Homo-oligomer: A and B are copies of this chain.
Amino acid sequence: MSVISIQLGNNLYCKDPQSTELGKKIVLHSIKLISELGFEAFTFRKLSMQIDSTEASIYRYFDNKHRLLVYLIAWYWAWMEYKIEYETHHLGNAQEKLDRIIRLITEKKVPDDTFPDIDEEALNKIVIAESDKTYLTKRVDKDNQNGLFKGYKSLCDHIAALISTINPNFTFAHALASTALEASNQQVFFAEHLPSLTELSQLEDPYSANYHFVKNLIFKTIDA
Protein backbone atom coordinates (compact mmCIF):
# COMPACT_ATOMS: atom_id res chain seq x y z
CA MET A 1 0.00 0.00 0.00
CA SER A 2 1.45 3.28 -1.10
CA VAL A 3 0.80 6.28 1.11
CA ILE A 4 0.69 9.65 -0.54
CA SER A 5 1.92 12.61 1.44
CA ILE A 6 2.41 16.24 0.63
CA GLN A 7 6.12 16.96 0.81
CA LEU A 8 6.93 20.54 1.76
CA GLY A 9 10.17 22.51 1.51
CA ASN A 10 12.36 22.25 4.58
CA ASN A 11 12.37 25.98 5.19
CA LEU A 12 8.74 25.68 6.18
CA TYR A 13 9.58 24.03 9.48
CA CYS A 14 12.36 23.53 12.00
CA LYS A 15 11.75 19.85 12.23
CA ASP A 16 9.41 18.04 9.89
CA PRO A 17 6.07 17.64 11.67
CA GLN A 18 5.17 14.74 9.38
CA SER A 19 8.08 12.73 10.78
CA THR A 20 6.73 12.14 14.30
CA GLU A 21 3.55 11.53 16.22
CA LEU A 22 3.89 14.80 18.11
CA GLY A 23 4.44 16.66 14.85
CA LYS A 24 1.25 15.26 13.39
CA LYS A 25 -0.66 16.15 16.53
CA ILE A 26 0.65 19.70 16.33
CA VAL A 27 -0.60 20.08 12.77
CA LEU A 28 -3.90 18.36 13.41
CA HIS A 29 -4.77 20.38 16.48
CA SER A 30 -3.40 23.68 15.25
CA ILE A 31 -5.83 23.51 12.33
CA LYS A 32 -8.64 22.92 14.78
CA LEU A 33 -7.55 25.66 17.16
CA ILE A 34 -6.71 28.36 14.62
CA SER A 35 -9.97 27.84 12.78
CA GLU A 36 -11.84 28.14 16.06
CA LEU A 37 -9.98 30.94 17.82
CA GLY A 38 -8.61 32.88 14.88
CA PHE A 39 -4.91 33.37 14.37
CA GLU A 40 -4.53 36.28 16.80
CA ALA A 41 -5.99 34.49 19.80
CA PHE A 42 -4.20 31.25 18.95
CA THR A 43 -1.05 30.62 21.02
CA PHE A 44 1.45 27.79 21.37
CA ARG A 45 0.49 27.63 25.01
CA LYS A 46 -3.14 26.88 24.20
CA LEU A 47 -2.06 24.37 21.58
CA SER A 48 0.31 22.65 24.00
CA MET A 49 -2.50 22.23 26.49
CA GLN A 50 -4.78 20.73 23.83
CA ILE A 51 -2.25 18.09 22.92
CA ASP A 52 -0.94 17.52 26.45
CA SER A 53 2.51 18.69 25.58
CA THR A 54 4.55 21.82 26.25
CA GLU A 55 5.33 25.07 24.49
CA ALA A 56 9.00 24.12 24.31
CA SER A 57 8.19 20.95 22.41
CA ILE A 58 6.16 22.82 19.82
CA TYR A 59 8.95 25.33 19.32
CA ARG A 60 11.12 22.42 18.21
CA TYR A 61 8.88 22.06 15.15
CA PHE A 62 8.06 25.68 14.37
CA ASP A 63 10.00 28.82 15.19
CA ASN A 64 6.82 30.70 15.94
CA LYS A 65 3.12 30.69 15.24
CA HIS A 66 3.50 32.70 12.07
CA ARG A 67 5.71 29.98 10.63
CA LEU A 68 3.15 27.39 11.59
CA LEU A 69 0.48 29.36 9.74
CA VAL A 70 2.72 29.62 6.69
CA TYR A 71 3.23 25.86 6.85
CA LEU A 72 -0.50 25.16 6.97
CA ILE A 73 -1.25 27.50 4.07
CA ALA A 74 1.60 25.99 2.05
CA TRP A 75 0.19 22.55 2.73
CA TYR A 76 -3.21 23.72 1.47
CA TRP A 77 -1.85 25.06 -1.81
CA ALA A 78 0.27 21.97 -2.34
CA TRP A 79 -2.85 19.91 -1.78
CA MET A 80 -4.77 22.01 -4.29
CA GLU A 81 -1.98 21.62 -6.84
CA TYR A 82 -2.07 17.87 -6.29
CA LYS A 83 -5.82 17.76 -6.83
CA ILE A 84 -5.52 19.96 -9.90
CA GLU A 85 -2.84 17.73 -11.37
CA TYR A 86 -4.98 14.68 -10.71
CA GLU A 87 -8.13 16.14 -12.22
CA THR A 88 -6.76 18.00 -15.22
CA HIS A 89 -3.89 15.99 -16.66
CA HIS A 90 -6.21 14.01 -18.88
CA LEU A 91 -8.06 17.04 -20.23
CA GLY A 92 -7.41 18.06 -23.79
CA ASN A 93 -7.26 21.79 -23.95
CA ALA A 94 -6.41 24.83 -21.89
CA GLN A 95 -9.99 26.06 -21.62
CA GLU A 96 -11.16 22.82 -20.08
CA LYS A 97 -8.22 22.68 -17.71
CA LEU A 98 -8.73 26.24 -16.56
CA ASP A 99 -12.41 25.64 -16.08
CA ARG A 100 -11.69 22.59 -13.94
CA ILE A 101 -9.18 24.51 -11.85
CA ILE A 102 -11.70 27.27 -11.18
CA ARG A 103 -14.20 24.66 -10.12
CA LEU A 104 -11.69 23.02 -7.77
CA ILE A 105 -10.71 26.32 -6.22
CA THR A 106 -14.22 27.57 -5.66
CA GLU A 107 -15.97 24.38 -4.66
CA LYS A 108 -16.90 23.61 -1.08
CA LYS A 109 -14.10 21.66 0.56
CA VAL A 110 -14.92 18.29 2.05
CA PRO A 111 -12.67 15.90 3.98
CA ASP A 112 -10.15 14.18 1.69
CA ASP A 113 -9.61 10.59 2.83
CA THR A 114 -6.17 10.58 1.27
CA PHE A 115 -4.95 12.74 4.16
CA PRO A 116 -6.67 11.55 7.31
CA ASP A 117 -4.51 13.77 9.53
CA ILE A 118 -5.84 16.95 7.98
CA ASP A 119 -9.26 18.49 8.40
CA GLU A 120 -9.51 20.08 4.98
CA GLU A 121 -12.72 21.90 5.80
CA ALA A 122 -11.20 23.63 8.81
CA LEU A 123 -8.02 24.30 6.87
CA ASN A 124 -10.04 25.96 4.13
CA LYS A 125 -11.61 28.23 6.76
CA ILE A 126 -8.10 29.20 7.80
CA VAL A 127 -7.08 29.86 4.22
CA ILE A 128 -10.09 32.13 3.77
CA ALA A 129 -9.67 34.08 6.97
CA GLU A 130 -5.93 34.06 7.61
CA SER A 131 -3.87 33.35 4.52
CA ASP A 132 -3.24 36.99 3.65
CA LYS A 133 -1.48 37.31 7.00
CA THR A 134 1.26 34.98 5.78
CA TYR A 135 2.64 37.70 3.52
CA LEU A 136 1.24 40.93 5.00
CA THR A 137 4.20 41.33 7.33
CA LYS A 138 7.47 43.23 7.44
CA ARG A 139 9.24 39.92 6.84
CA VAL A 140 7.65 39.20 3.43
CA ASP A 141 10.79 39.72 1.43
CA LYS A 142 12.89 37.46 3.63
CA ASP A 143 10.18 34.83 3.80
CA ASN A 144 9.77 34.99 0.05
CA GLN A 145 13.51 34.56 -0.45
CA ASN A 146 13.38 31.51 1.77
CA GLY A 147 10.83 29.99 -0.56
CA LEU A 148 7.92 30.03 1.86
CA PHE A 149 5.45 31.07 -0.83
CA LYS A 150 6.67 28.76 -3.55
CA GLY A 151 3.49 26.69 -3.65
CA TYR A 152 1.18 29.63 -4.10
CA LYS A 153 3.41 31.19 -6.72
CA SER A 154 3.62 27.95 -8.65
CA LEU A 155 -0.17 27.60 -8.70
CA CYS A 156 -0.42 31.17 -9.91
CA ASP A 157 2.13 30.39 -12.63
CA HIS A 158 0.18 27.31 -13.61
CA ILE A 159 -3.03 29.30 -14.07
CA ALA A 160 -1.20 32.16 -15.80
CA ALA A 161 0.30 29.69 -18.28
CA LEU A 162 -3.16 28.42 -19.21
CA ILE A 163 -4.40 31.98 -19.58
CA SER A 164 -1.51 32.75 -21.91
CA THR A 165 -2.22 29.65 -23.94
CA ILE A 166 -5.82 30.71 -24.41
CA ASN A 167 -4.93 34.28 -25.29
CA PRO A 168 -1.21 34.88 -25.94
CA ASN A 169 -1.85 38.60 -26.35
CA PHE A 170 -3.22 39.13 -22.87
CA THR A 171 -0.64 41.14 -20.95
CA PHE A 172 -1.70 40.45 -17.37
CA ALA A 173 -1.86 36.69 -17.06
CA HIS A 174 -0.23 36.52 -13.63
CA ALA A 175 -2.08 39.56 -12.33
CA LEU A 176 -5.37 38.03 -13.39
CA ALA A 177 -4.45 34.65 -11.93
CA SER A 178 -3.52 36.11 -8.53
CA THR A 179 -6.59 38.35 -8.56
CA ALA A 180 -8.84 35.37 -9.27
CA LEU A 181 -7.20 33.23 -6.59
CA GLU A 182 -7.50 35.96 -3.99
CA ALA A 183 -11.03 36.85 -5.04
CA SER A 184 -12.27 33.28 -4.87
CA ASN A 185 -11.46 33.15 -1.16
CA GLN A 186 -12.27 36.75 -0.36
CA GLN A 187 -15.77 36.48 -1.77
CA VAL A 188 -16.54 33.57 0.54
CA PHE A 189 -15.37 35.64 3.49
CA PHE A 190 -17.44 38.61 2.38
CA ALA A 191 -20.49 36.45 1.85
CA GLU A 192 -20.30 35.36 5.46
CA HIS A 193 -19.16 38.53 7.22
CA LEU A 194 -19.60 41.55 4.97
CA PRO A 195 -22.47 40.47 2.75
CA SER A 196 -23.06 43.88 1.26
CA LEU A 197 -19.76 43.53 -0.60
CA THR A 198 -20.93 40.58 -2.67
CA GLU A 199 -23.99 38.92 -4.18
CA LEU A 200 -22.86 35.42 -3.23
CA SER A 201 -24.75 35.25 0.03
CA GLN A 202 -28.07 36.09 -1.63
CA LEU A 203 -27.91 33.27 -4.13
CA GLU A 204 -29.19 29.75 -3.49
CA ASP A 205 -25.79 28.12 -3.93
CA PRO A 206 -22.98 30.52 -2.98
CA TYR A 207 -20.24 28.07 -4.00
CA SER A 208 -21.69 27.59 -7.44
CA ALA A 209 -22.24 31.36 -7.70
CA ASN A 210 -18.60 31.91 -6.79
CA TYR A 211 -17.58 29.47 -9.50
CA HIS A 212 -19.61 31.32 -12.09
CA PHE A 213 -18.38 34.68 -10.90
CA VAL A 214 -14.69 33.72 -11.06
CA LYS A 215 -15.06 31.81 -14.31
CA ASN A 216 -16.80 34.75 -15.92
CA LEU A 217 -14.19 37.12 -14.50
CA ILE A 218 -11.33 35.21 -16.05
CA PHE A 219 -12.77 34.15 -19.39
CA LYS A 220 -14.39 37.49 -20.19
CA THR A 221 -11.28 39.40 -19.21
CA ILE A 222 -8.96 37.41 -21.47
CA ASP A 223 -11.18 37.30 -24.50
CA ALA A 224 -9.43 39.16 -27.34
Residues of A within 8 A of B (CB): 37-38, 40-41, 129-130, 132-133, 135-138, 140-141, 144, 149, 152-153, 156-157, 171-179, 182-183, 186-187, 189-190, 193-194, 196-200, 209, 213, 216-217, 220-221, 223
Considering the complex of A and B, which 7 residue pairs feature the smallest CB-CB distances, nearest first?
A38-B138, A178-B197, A175-B198, A179-B183, A140-B193, A220-B221, A172-B213
Chain B residues contacting A37 (CB-CB under 8 Å) are 138
Residues on B with beta carbons closer than 8 Å to the beta carbon of A221:
216-217, 220-221
Give the number of copies in the complex.
2
A194 in contact with B149 (CB, 8 Å): yes
Instruction: List B contacts of A149 (CB < 8 A).
Output: 194
Query: Considering the chains assembled together, what is the distance between the CA atoms of A85 and B54 in angstroms?
Result: 57
**Is B216 touching A200 in the complex (CB atoms < 8 A)?**
no
- Contact of B138 with A132 in the complex, beta carbons under 8 Å: no
Contact of A38 among B137, B157, B176, B217 (CB under 8 A): B137
Partner of A174, one of B136, B156, B199: B199
Contact of A182 among B144, B175, B182, B217 (CB under 8 A): B182
